[in-house]
Amino acid sequence: MSKSILKGITTGLLVTVLTLLAVFSSAVLGFDQDTITYVIDFGLMLSCLSAGYKAARDSGMLIPAALAAASYALIGILLLALFFPINPSGAISVIGECLILGLLSGILGTGIMKKGRLESGRTYHFLNEDKEEEEETNFFKKIS
């Protein structure tokens, strides 16, 4: 689980680097400040989504997705705090937003929307009844 969280954070940081390249190129091309601000906001959102998706895809669970996205935001805030003063309430709201985005992307990453199955064949059980039914069908598959 910890490897999937680290992979998610790394993916989020990679998307951040790509966002910075887009911001630098848009600044060089002479776009106005509002456009650059939208690119930064969109990049932050994509970074949180990609961190959560990668962590959920690797682990198959929702919790690592939320932890990866929130950890990505925390690392970003700590890096910004080295150079700029940070408002604590703003930092908490950004971490909360990334946590929610991580959960949303984790739903897609785990494949819960596909009737509880991943492409790898892993099944997620929400009720014990589903697990018992699957065990019965697996038992009959082994017999035949």
Per-residue model confidence as pLDDT tens digits over 5-50:
999 999 999 999 999 999 999 999 999 988 888 998 898 899 999 9
Nearest to 66 by CA among 51, 45, 88, 76: 51
46 touches 19 (CB < 8 A):
yes
pLDDT at 110: 85
Percent of the chain exceeding pLDDT 70 equals 78
Residue type, 63: I
Nearest to 8 by CA among 44, 49, 41: 49
48 touches 65 (CB < 8 A):
no
Q: Where along the chain do its domains lie?
A: 2-113, 114-144
pLDDT at 128: 46
Q: What is the largest CA-CA distance in the chain?
A: 70
